Amino acid sequence: QITLKESGPTLVKPTQTLTLTCTFSGFSLSTSGVGVGWIRQPPGKALEWLALIYWDDDKRYRPSLKSRLTIIKDTSKNQVVLRMTNMDPVDTATYYCGHYGWLFHFDYWGQGTLVTVSS
Amino acid sequence: QTVVTQEPSFSVSPGGTVTLTCGLSSGSVSISYYPSWYQQTPGQAPRTLIHSTFTRSSGVPDRFSGSILGNKAALTITGAQADDESDYYCLLYMGSGIWVFGGGTKLTVL
């Protein structure tokens, strides 16, 4: 079965770079049509799509955050990494990774990891 | 910038039927936006309910259904149960590899 799990720091300081890792099983990121995305949710607020990487290494980013985001994959390790630069307290959120199958949706989700930005 | 709109809150009686909608601040939602719906309870990850407007995800009861109503995507819950009390989010594919979530609807069952 498909599982995903996010890992990374729980606390980062303003201006620092956040690096999150999504480790998954049950599928391969070398399979045509497959992708892994990142979604975040500030406390008490709505979900927000951030980025997606496809099996062919095509990458898509939320336009308003594009300059701060980098998504990369390591197919051999079954991992996807998200980097977000210049972190600010407004970036405090639970960050989720999700499996993207065909038809434009996320069908499996990780449990999420809460990242707090504070000095 | 286009905003995806949802009712902030909705209430339904146990056993009742409720329809939540997902619209655009400018324009109409169609199947070309591949609307999907997610259920989330506090402290939990989202659960995928519906994708591609109508298709229920594996294991989702058939009392959840998706459609297009007028110029919006819709999620209808028929025979609401207490454990349907959750936040519901729609997600639209805007084209060019961009996805946008709606602001979510908090559903109360009482």
- What are the pLDDT digits (tens) for A61-77? 999 999 999 999 999 99
Share of chain B above pLDDT 70, in %: 100
Residue B51 confidence (pLDDT): 96
* Most A-contacting residue of B99, B101, B105 (CB-CB within 10 A), to test interface: B99
Query: Residues B92, B34: contact at Cβ < 8 Å?
Result: yes
Return mean pLDDT, chain A. 97
CA distance A77 to chain B (A): 24
Give me the helices (H) in A14-95, please: none
pLDDT band, very low/low/confident/very high, at B1 (cuts 50, 70, 90): confident
Contacts of residue A104 in chain B, CB cutoff 8 Å? 34, 36, 51-52, 93, 99
Burial tier of B63 (Cβ tally within 10 Å: 0-12, 13-18, 19+): middle
DSSP state of A16: P
pLDDT band, very low/low/confident/very high, at B15 (cuts 50, 70, 90): very high
Average pLDDT over residues A36-42: 98
